[in-house]
Structure 1
């Protein structure tokens, strides 16, 4: 404290002596501080830069000043600190005050320097904003491009790497196994199944576009040809191997990505004629493994004669030996350089049961004491039809297994595996320690343990049924079985789940796998619509089933309009199970196809100009619809389609459909409507042939053709009302009169109209009667009355003018002229008496023509 006072006293003394120089020293010190501040770190500082605006800085300094005012801060200690530095407090105050004055002057009269700094700041701020905007735009564009690639390309890089490797002869093993071990193992090469549309992965009801690309369209057409041939043979009740045809098609693709699909169809080929799922599936995986062993053996031809035993020995040597020629699995029982229990195990794995028995007999002397009875059990196992031991032997084997094999320390793991297989021992633990099994091995091992004919009297340890294995597989799911999941589902009899999973990989292939399974009567189908989610797989109290109708309907949706014939062929498969409820749905699906696509000629057929009927796809496939009344079914569909076409204003379609429905009375009614519209609305100054050109769509041509056909067919004629026949004939006569009228043949026109006997031209007494009965005539004739009256009056006028212009006058011509005037009078009288409202122009024109004739 005393030192502090001494320092303060010294400072005060110096200040009083050098008062004049103190101000200059203080300014110099501040200038030095300013100069030194330029050397402070800027952008490279670890502390970062202050990113505050000018307004924010002003706001914060004001807040600090307010805080200092409110709190009476003791600055004494600061004075003591500054005193030690040799800086006079008064000089600091004076300097700060002068700086403040300078700032105030600049704020009122800013100079060029201040303006330059503000302009520089604004320019930097503008550049910064522009730069940030560009960076944000580039970042957004990059992100959008990545999203675009992800949504449109959907590249599976692992699959692509695998395919490229195969093309260049590189082989990468699939190491996904059931057992989490690092032991060496064989794995079948299973490439990914190419999917045509990744959006299908989680929705089995998603619509498929078979016209999306060339490859998919090509596959679609190949499948369609097979289905068409299949339906041909079904119709003729000939044998057709759908499975073999599909296998041949896939093999001809020559694409390695379809190998998984090919294997699925080969599984279907193996199980389609077998009664037992377990036996047929087990034999399939055994043959598959033997083929792999044989392929491996061909690469090592120095292994002796190509016997089954030598091939399996070669497999064991390549898989169970390491590079240092040491066995990779410990505690193997080696006899003459061969692990004897491993050899027996893999011979069983390859389905070579007799060879396995031969190895056991030849090496019986090498078995230890606890293994001496093994040969008895093994012979019984091999010779049994069901590959299962008798009850008495099973009991003895279980005792020996529990006492010696199961608890043996350092025992051969393959010995335990063989005992488990032949005796179905210790089913509570179905794994084999120290032996690495791939997916096929695991499935085969469990199929060997499954017992199909389980009874209630069997002990608990014997009860391992197929449904138990199926539940294990479903609980594991695709995460455990990876790309082999579909094959596992098929081999374990989970056909409904297999179809659902196949559709998530490739809808087009999944649909045909379902067709193949349904044809083999292996697929459980349902007609239930009670499931809330419209799912393909339906679960109920009776088990799981596939909504086969929905599957085929959703599949055909994308090509119904482009390929209606093919769509019909697929919908005909709805009744493949020959179930009554399924057949009803098949009939309904075909009906909906007709109404939706409007491809009536292709599906329902057509009528030739001579009245003969050309059948469509439905009639051609009538045997597959299993209908007793095919005629009624077609007529009903045709009539419904005709009614819809009529509602939509598609007159030509409705005409054809009503003919196909054999509703000839409605056909004539429609034709009468067409004729009535034509004769009442057309411009009378133009010939009718100029309007419709006498083509098949010409109502007159249609009417003439149909009335000729129908009248010459007594059965058809009976189905047409007399009123409609008369109306049709009358309209055709009026159309003939229109033709002569357009040709200027006035007298012929009057003669034709008089023959129609619709308007009494010469008999005045009949005018009233005819006018009163006009409302009883057909509507299509009634609406032509105005044009007929104009035609009559025009003909009378032109004939009368011709008589007047004649150079020779006679009493006969005078009589003719009077007759014409009488016709005109009758015509006008008729127009005034009929209870039919005609256009005002008609009355005006009739009056004008009548006056001209006076």
Structure 2
């Protein structure tokens, strides 16, 4: 900027001194004074502020003085000027006198210039005017460039330090309270989940695959081995689903992983899987849980009997008798309970109870019938009750028997001092008696026995006439189990939650045992339609909606996949498509979103989405191979909902090369060509003219020139693809590639060849002066990627002409041909300058100044 001021000052100084010579002696001193001021002003700094340059021409000073004079009242004195000039020794009257002398000198100069024009000195004036235009253009360009830089700095470095502080605090886990109601709180980037599109792109915070899990499946050999075992099962499970083979036993496959475990912690998981396997075939939780507990008990009895066989046939009754002898006898003829009803050496009520416990009501009925004569007087009607109970479809007493049994229970059994505790238990179970006290404290029961008794007392189909004290539903049972909590059940709490039908809480608790196992428990429950799934919420695993406990299934799978999405993207796909196991619109859309997120984060486009080879043939990736499991009707649907949406996301995030590949995979060939044209246009317009556009080491997947050359060949040669690309886009790409050739010739100083290439390109007027205006009118209608390269093309043309003329002038030979060549080149330059003048304000500001400087040197 300093050199620019010096140049302007030297340009103005001769004219000023010429005027001063024609003044009287008083004006000479004034001129000398103002010359000193002018020289002093050269040391003042020049800025790019809105004040403009400090060094001004006389005309500009006059113009500004007149503007300032209009703003000053006529009666205003010059008090402020006195203060300003006090230190310089100037009086205000001297300044006024000097200004008047200057004004009269300026008028004389104007008259002489006018006389010069009349005398035919027009060329001199035009030359001076041209110099002034050049200097003005340079000054303006420098000033505006500095101003643009200041604006850029202000826009890009004006940080919100409070926001940055909050972000840093949050990154260290320090919670920051958001001021939701503040008028300065920007909510413009918040976008709710749209069930139709499933898009969470506008939502702030982590994505579906960026949860709070710290699991690392590659941490050690044991974890990796378990991960791979589960992954192989999931892969085969998806294969079975895709082939519509319903024989795949998912839960039994998971059970096989725990068959040989001895750890009590993992024994919970094995029991849990067996409960799930039993429950998958039942729609009623109470029925399936009773059945499981009864089978479990009977299997236990069988194992005991096989180790301690007794006399007689191995019937169910004999096995239960053997169990009772082992558990209730303290000696050969002594029992743990003194008040047992013993018939023929058998505690008959205990035998009935444990036969019911083993799920053998028909065997229990036979025992009752065979021993009816041994029942006491108050028990004579029991055979009637029990027979009705066993033969009913739902193991419920008819209402006419319920009242009678309750009366007998309350009068003779409930408070009897010598009552057999197993008799009380049998009466309580078949008649649902005294539900205010559901426990049977006189009998030592295992956790499984205790759960079984509670399940036997549940009745969900309550009548409105049933008294409150007889109400006990599954919901009551569930609340009871949760109120006791895991501490009450030690290492049996997972089974308790599963047996009570609280599958969502069971998954949550399983995370405390092992995260990998918890995830696969959720998958199995979802596969069998046993999970209640919530809408996606980033920070909630369990929620309650209308009294129903729900689990965030997307979070379960997203968190798990986070640990191996980079190391094993194929396996990640197998898990993420399981989100669509829950056949709900939102879950299916979230499966698409999770897959798009996996694609964009891992960038494994070939593995996940496939590729299009050089012949234009599509080779599918793993996601497309699993298309049937994502409820996508056809390939077109897949390309739109997965690949193209991922491409749009990448485009929105400014990941141009990723979006380019994704649009290519989604077969949006016209969009691909548009992006390539944009990349190529940007590269050509922003790269210095003396720099190469690419090197032979460049990646053909990231360099726009190599991409464009490859694509234009495929898109033109493949008829089907060519039909799907607009002709204008293809023509633009071809033109830009020709510009690449020009830019390759130019740095190698092939002036003649480069100029010929520009002429062949036929974008700017060369020899036909009449077409210049037409070309200028067509300028605005050019493709924007070509349009932005016209300025550089003009500079290249003018530089080529300048260098060719210089070469001709430097040559030794003189001929008419040489002069004709130079004249021809100057005509081309003239056409270019006329064209540039017509589009001057549609080009960068500095371009026209550069062209003028080149033209001056011709």
Task: Decide: shared fold, TM above 0.5.
Answer: yes
Q: CA deviation at 1:315?
A: 2.2
Q: CA deviation at 1:390?
A: 3.2
Partner-residue secondary structure (3-state), 1:426: coil
1:288 aligns with 2:303: no
CA deviation digits over 1:823-852, x for unaligned, max 9?
25523651475124455996599469x75x
Q: TM-score by structure 1 length?
A: 0.66
Residue in 2 aligned with 1:609?
614
1:210 aligns with 2:225: no
- Paired with 1:755 and 1:722, the residues of 2 have a C-alpha distance of 20
Given the superposition, is the C-alpha separation of residues 817 and 294 from structure 1 closer, same or farther in structure 2, using an over 3 Å criterion? farther
1:755 aligns with 2:760: yes
Question: Which of 701, 707, 712 is matched with 1:702 structurally?
Answer: 707
Equivalent residues of 1:687, 1:743 under 8 A apart: no
Mean alpha-carbon deviation: is it higher for 492-501 or for 561-570? Answer: 561-570
Q: CA deviation at 1:255?
A: 6.0
CA deviation digits over 1:162-185, x for unaligned, max 9?
xxxxxxxxxxxxxxxxxxxxxxxx
Q: TM-score by structure 2 length?
A: 0.66
Residue in 2 aligned with 1:223?
230
Residue in 1 aligned with 2:554?
549
Q: CA deviation at 1:437?
A: 0.7
Residue in 2 aligned with 1:328?
336
Given the superposition, is the C-alpha separation of residues 355 and 464 from structure 1 closer, same or farther in structure 2, using an over 3 Å criterion? same
- Paired with 1:473 and 1:772, the residues of 2 have a C-alpha distance of 83
Equivalent residues of 2:592, 2:642 under 8 A apart: no
- Paired with 2:672 and 2:413, the residues of 1 have a C-alpha distance of 89
Q: CA deviation at 1:751?
A: 3.6
1:264 aligns with 2:285: no
The residue correspondences of 1:633-652 to structure 2 (distance < 5 A) are: 634-635=639-640, 638-639=643-644, 641-646=646-651, 648-652=653-657
- Paired with 2:327 and 2:319, the residues of 1 have a C-alpha distance of 12
| Structure with the greater alpha carbon radius of gyration | 1
CA deviation digits over 1:250-296, x for unaligned, max 9?
33777664221111111111111123322221111111112222222
Q: CA deviation at 1:789?
A: 5.2
1:276 aligns with 2:284: yes
Mean alpha-carbon deviation: is it higher for 625-634 or for 478-487? Answer: 625-634
Given the superposition, is the C-alpha separation of residues 612 and 364 from structure 1 closer, same or farther in structure 2, using an over 3 Å criterion? same
Equivalent residues of 1:762, 1:823 under 8 A apart: no
1:468 aligns with 2:476: yes
Given the superposition, is the C-alpha separation of residues 718 and 442 from structure 1 closer, same or farther in structure 2, using an over 3 Å criterion? same
Mean alpha-carbon deviation: is it higher for 696-705 or for 634-643? Answer: 634-643
The residue correspondences of 1:303-322 to structure 2 (distance < 5 A) are: 305-322=313-330
Residue in 1 aligned with 2:786?
781
CA deviation digits over 1:219-240, x for unaligned, max 9?
3333333333333333333213
Equivalent pairs counted in the alignment come to: 640
| Structure 2: tracts of 5 or more residues without a match | 1-210
Partner-residue secondary structure (3-state), 2:464: coil
Mean alpha-carbon deviation: is it higher for 748-757 or for 561-570? Answer: 561-570
Question: Which of 539, 542, 546 is matched with 2:544 structurally?
Answer: 539
Given the superposition, is the C-alpha separation of residues 560 and 258 from structure 1 closer, same or farther in structure 2, using an over 3 Å criterion? same
Question: Which of 780, 805, 818 is matched with 2:820 structurally?
Answer: 818
CA deviation digits over 1:365-404, x for unaligned, max 9?
4434433443343333333332233334444433433333
The residue correspondences of 1:680-719 to structure 2 (distance < 5 A) are: 680=685, 682=687, 690=695, 693=698, 695-712=700-717, 716-717=721-722
CA deviation digits over 1:524-564, x for unaligned, max 9?
223276xxx95433223353333333443444444445444
Question: Which of 607, 629, 642 is matched with 1:624 structurally?
Answer: 629
1:493 aligns with 2:501: yes
Equivalent residues of 1:607, 1:656 under 8 A apart: no
The residue correspondences of 1:286-685 to structure 2 (distance < 5 A) are: 286-301=294-309, 305-322=313-330, 326-458=334-466, 463-527=471-535, 534-594=539-599, 599-627=604-632, 631=636, 634-635=639-640, 638-639=643-644, 641-646=646-651, 648-680=653-685, 682=687
- Paired with 2:693 and 2:596, the residues of 1 have a C-alpha distance of 39
Partner-residue secondary structure (3-state), 2:462: coil
Mean alpha-carbon deviation: is it higher for 277-286 or for 701-710? Answer: 701-710
| Structure 1: tracts of 5 or more residues without a match | 1-204
Q: CA deviation at 1:413?
A: 1.1
Equivalent residues of 1:452, 1:465 under 8 A apart: yes
- Paired with 2:702 and 2:504, the residues of 1 have a C-alpha distance of 52
1:827 aligns with 2:829: yes
The residue correspondences of 1:36-51 to structure 2 (distance < 5 A) are: none
Given the superposition, is the C-alpha separation of residues 705 and 444 from structure 1 closer, same or farther in structure 2, using an over 3 Å criterion? same
